[in-house]
A and B are shown apart, each in its own frame.
Chain A
Amino acid sequence: MSIFKFHYNLEKNSVGFVVAIILAASVGGLVEIAPLFTIDDTVETLPDMRVYTPLELAGRNIYIREGCYACHSQMIRTLRDEVERYGPYSLAAESQYDHPMLWGSKRTGPDIARLGGKYSDDWHEAHLIYPRAVVPTSIMPAYPWLATTPLDVEGLGAHLAVLAQLGVPYTDDMIANASRDATAQARPDSDAATGLVDRYGEATTIRRFTDAREVTEMDAVIAYLQILGQLTQAPYAAEVPQ
């Protein structure tokens, strides 16, 4: 057969063989991935979609650092039982500013895509310090050091600047004030809190997330957990946008 004859000759040419491997292996990715960047309805357009505040972003980075995504997904599938258990299914637009996405692949613990607002800050604090204090049979690790480690807000502007480069709509104003805004979000009485609302909108949650004297990593993580599923209200509307 001629195809085997062709292969018989290809086997004698190492560089030709490598080129053939590259060609064969490139097709799948080109067909499935490239169009995701060009087909417009891949990601819905949501007018009320917000960006993470610097404090929430810092919390998200701690979430990544501790590997929370290994046990908690943030992607509710379009299945009846998931929607009834966790809330409206996740839209692509909700993670459009997530570099990286944290959809997860395993639910050793429950999905937390719609966790925001379901529990109080106090509950989260107690739960993170020692999960079995509030959920006796939980197998989640304890994260007591979050409550005692001051949050490093220095250089958050550089983080926002990189994300802006990647297409997240952070303004120059947001980048310049990032470190101040991070502290201000956990200090509602401070003057800086007003600027935060101007930059990130009325829906921004500004409050003392914990009673700690300084802003800690715990504040950041709780701020992040409380925003999950709350960056837009579109999924909760009767009609899902296209």
Chain B
Amino acid sequence: MIAILTPRERQIGMAMAIGLALLGLTMAALGGHDPIAVHGFMALALGLALVFAVGSVLEEPAPNPARLQQYYDDPIKVGIVLAMIWGVFAMTIGLWVAALMVWPDATFGQAWSSYGRLRPVHTTGVIFAFGGNALIATSFHVMQRTCRARLADQLSPWFVLIGYNLFLVWAVTGYFMGVTQSKEYAEPEWYADIWLVIVWVTYLVLYLRTLKRRAEPHIYVANWYYLAFIVVVAMLHIVNAAAIPVSWTGAKSYPAFSGVQDAMVQWWYGHNAVAFFMTSGFLGMLYYYLPMRAQRPIFSYRLSIISFWGITFFYLWVGSHHLHYTALPTWVQNLGMTFSIMLLVPSWASAGNALATLNGAWHRVRDDATLRFMFIAAVFYGLSTFEGSFLAIRPVNALSHYTDWTVGHVHSGALGWLAMVTFGAFYSVIPQIWGRTAMYSPKLVEWHFWLALAGLLTYVFSLWNAGITQGLMWRAYNSAGTLNYSFIESMEAMRPYYIARVLGGALFLAGICVGAVNIWLTIRGARDAAPDRPLSPQAAE
């Protein structure tokens, strides 16, 4: 896999690996007893491993030029495997934190295993590790196929993939050690944040360089969404992560903003992490793999344009709906609510466009679990965006905010949309890039589908009930005109729903484990002919 690098790429790769090892060594040496030293050792170990890996092929002859007549799929393969490993890990942690709500002593008295430390492991693990690796891997696939162009070089995809996963390992192991900025969905500390910026800019440059090589005059719509995902996430991350470290040799930093401004920046970031990481990027996935699998063209090109720019413009206004009735000025709250409702138009335009694309292919939805994954994803995308706009209405939010309804809403998006479309995309792309006609076992894909759907429905129904019950109990008054329930009574009422949530999570986790086994068996199976889009430019199909 490394021997395909050109001699020059090997040299640069070697230099970068040495640089990483030195960076790690510096952090480890200066960090002392600070957790940053542990992260230094991790970077050092990774750097040394890469030095040996690249060093082993440094003197080998240059690779066959015939490689340039093919797509470069190696980083995609690694990205998909990493996404599945992270997915199983992060959902296992999710099941554990769900269990902690029912059996709070399941921390075994350890600091690292208490709810507050495990929770960001779960959220970062699912959204950024499982979702992020899936996005990077599929974007490499989609950009090459839709442009009929090979990746611009063979080194920067690895820098993006390995660098991003180093960020993730720093983030997740940091939480276990208590390293956190406490900003939701942006918990990693300053050095990990800076590292992510470097990786991310490389990703954007790679994307643009590959687009420049395209043999198609137009940039296909899936790429618009991947581009919006990369560009806007960079913008959000740089602003929200602004902080001053207490010391250059320690992990702790203080964020630049405080109080109400910090809250607004945080939720401008937080909601648009949902928008541009969990929505835009995965819409890119949907816009490529759904029509390919259904063998139908996208229903409407104009609807794609309207929904793309609607999403890109409106979403950045809605973050303040996380702060209704708080100390945030009311005018910002009202703007957030208004734009949240308007956002339903482009969101449903996207969902409708996807579902209308399936017209004429419903028999495939019925027979093919892979396409059914993407069908359910489009349905849950529509449902979640409707629910999101609904929850952003001030009086509704008065009831739902701070309750498990919000958690249910996030999971209807994360399980029902993000994970479902990812599984659909993976089952589409894996046979192609590993050179197989189909997955090892279509039956296991069916099993995965039904386990995932059962888990998803169990999960969201239990938390919808939990959230509405909580919200109603908190505001219930008795005939004497005083509050009817103490807080602890509302917590006790949650127990049956929390047990149901554990069950739902277990079903979903069982599903992804079945998927992981099936993918492993497919990769290990015999190679045969797989249809792929020819790289050499030719008349449009």
User: Chain A residues in contact with chain B, CB under 8 A?
Assistant: 4, 7-8, 11-12, 14-15, 17-18, 21-22, 24-29, 31-33, 36-37, 39, 42-43, 61, 64-71, 73, 75, 77-79, 81-82, 84-85, 89-111, 131-132, 135, 137-145, 155, 158-159, 162-163, 165-168
B301 and chain A: residue at smallest CB distance: A4
Binding site for A on B (CB under 8 A): 100-102, 104-105, 107, 109, 111, 114-117, 119-120, 175, 178-184, 204, 208, 211-212, 217-219, 224, 227-228, 231-232, 235, 239, 244-247, 252-266, 268, 302, 305, 309, 312-320, 322-329, 332, 335-336, 339, 398, 401-404, 406-407, 470, 474-475, 477, 482-483, 487-488, 491-492
With A97-B259, A158-B246: A68-B335 Cβ-Cβ less than 8 Å:
no
In contact, B104 and A138 (Cβ under 8 angstroms): yes
Q: Which of B239, B339, B488 is the most central at the interface, judged by chain A CB atoms within 10 Å of its CB? A: B488
Distance between Cα atoms of A105 and B488 in the complex (Å): 18
Complex CA gap A24/B310 in Å reads: 9
Question: Can you name 30 A-B pairs with beta carbons within 8 Å?
Answer: A8-B218, A12-B218, A22-B231, A24-B309, A24-B313, A28-B313, A28-B314, A42-B261, A42-B329, A64-B180, A67-B115, A67-B119, A69-B116, A75-B327, A77-B398, A77-B401, A79-B325, A79-B475, A82-B474, A94-B327, A95-B260, A97-B258, A99-B254, A99-B255, A100-B254, A106-B403, A135-B488, A141-B107, A162-B246, A165-B244
Q: Closest Cβ of chain B: how far from A134's Cβ, in Å?
A: 11
Contact with A85, one of B183, B302, B339, B483 (Cβ below 8 angstroms): B483
Contact B180 A65 (CB under 8 A): yes
Q: Measured between alpha carbons, how far is A100 from B266 in the docked complex, in Å?
A: 9
Check B259–A4 contact: CB distance below 8 A: no
Give CA–CA (A101, B183) in the complex, Å: 9
Nearest CB in chain B to that of A80: its residue = B475
Contacts of B114 in A (CB 8 A): 66-67, 141-143
* Cβ B219 vs Cβ A11 within 8 A: yes
Q: CB distance B104 to A36 under 8 Å?
A: no
On whether the beta carbons of A71 and B115 are closer than 8 Å, the reply is: yes
Q: A200 vs B416: C-alpha distance in the bound complex, in angstroms? A: 52
Q: A25-B316, A141-B115 are in contact. Are A98 and B262 (CB under 8 A)?
A: yes
CB-defined contacts of B228 to chain A, threshold 8 Å: 21, 25
User: Can you name the residue of chain A whose Cβ is closest to the Cβ of B97?
Assistant: A70
Are B115 and A21 within 8 A (Cβ)?
no
How many angstroms from the CA of A137 to the CA of B495 in the assembled complex? Answer: 10
From the candidates A95, A141, A142, A162, name the one contacting B116 in the complex (CB within 8 A): A141
Which of B101, B312, B319 touches A108 (beta carbons < 8 Å)?
B101
Across the interface, name the chain A residue whose C-beta is closest to B216: A12
Point out which of B315, B316, B477 has the most chain A C-beta atoms below 10 A from its C-beta. B316
A179 and B326 CA atoms in complex are apart in Å by 35
- Known A-B contacts A67-B119, A142-B105; A106 and B261 likewise in contact (beta carbons under 8 Å): no
Give Cα A205–Cα B266 distance, bound, in whole angstroms.
Answer: 32
A28 touching B219, Cβ below 8 Å: no
Q: Judging by beta carbons under 8 Å apart, are A100 and B182 in contact?
A: yes
Nearest first, the 9 closest Cβ-Cβ pairs linking A and B are A67-B116, A28-B316, A77-B325, A28-B317, A65-B178, A92-B327, A95-B259, A141-B114, A107-B402
User: Distance (Å) between the CB of B331 and the closest chain A CB?
Assistant: 9
- Smallest beta-carbon distance B72→chain A, Å: 19
Residues of A within 8 A of B401 (CB): 77, 105
Q: Which of B111, B208, B227 has the most CB atoms of chain A within a 10 A radius of its CB?
A: B111
Question: Contact between B332 and A106 (Cβ–Cβ < 8 Å)?
Answer: no
Residues B258 and A96 in contact, CB atoms below 8 Å apart: yes
From A92, A93, A99, A107, contact of B257 by CB (8 A): A99
The 8 Å CB contact of A91, one of B253, B264, B327, is B327
Among A15, A18, A159, A168, which residue has the most Cβ atoms of chain B within 10 A? A18
The answer to whether B111 and A145 touch across the interface, beta carbons within 8 angstroms, is yes
| Given A101-B263, A108-B101, A25 contacting B312 (CB threshold 8 A) | yes
Residue contact A141 to B104, C-beta cutoff 8 Å: yes
The listed residue (B179, B247, B406) touching A105 by CB distance below 8 A is: B406
Whether B326 contacts A77 by the Cβ 8 Å rule is yes
Q: Which residue of chain B is the closest to A73 with respect to CB atoms?
A: B402
Q: Assess whether A109 is in contact with B217, with CB atoms less than 8 Å apart.
A: no
Is A92's CB under 8 angstroms from B260's CB?
A: yes
Quick check: B332 and A105 within 8 Å, CB to CB? no
Cβ-defined contact, B264 with A32, below 8 A: yes
Query: In the complex, which of the residues B245, B263, B332 contacts A103, with contact meaning CB atoms closer than 8 Å?
Result: B263
- Please determine whether A138 and B488 come into contact, CB atoms closer than 8 angstroms: yes
**Of all chain B residues, which has the CB nearest A140?**
B104
| Contact partners of A73 in chain B: CB under 8 A | 402
Question: In whole angstroms, what is the CA distance A7 to B29 when docked?
Answer: 53
Q: B217 contacts A66, CB within 8 Å?
A: no
- Return chain B residues, CB-CB under 8 Å to A84: 482-483
Q: Which of A32, A66, A100, A109 contacts B178 (CB 8 A)?
A: A66
B residues less than 8 Å from A75 (CB atoms): 326-327
> Which A residues are CB-close (under 8 A) to B184?
105
Contact at A100–B258, with CB atoms within 8 Å? yes
Given the complex, which residues of A lie within 8 Å of B179, measured CB to CB? 65
Contacts of A99 in B (CB 8 A): 254-258, 262
Residues of B within 8 A of A162 (CB): 244-246, 253-254
Task: Write out the residue numbers on chain A whose beta carbons fall within 8 Å of the beta carbon of B328.
Answer: 92
Bound together, the chains give a CA A81 to CA B478 distance in angstroms of 12
Which chain A residue has the least Cβ–Cβ distance from B276? Answer: A25
Contact B305 A7 (CB under 8 A): yes
Q: Separation in Å of the A79 CB from the closest CB of chain B?
A: 6
The interface residues of chain A lying within 8 Å CB-to-CB of B259 are 43, 92-98, 101
Q: Is the CB–CB distance between B403 and A107 below 8 Å?
A: yes
Which A-chain residue is minimally distant from B103 (CB atoms)? A139
In the complex formed, the residue of A with least CB distance to B119 is: A70
- Chain A residues with CB under 8 A of B204: 18
B104 and chain A: residue at smallest CB distance = A139
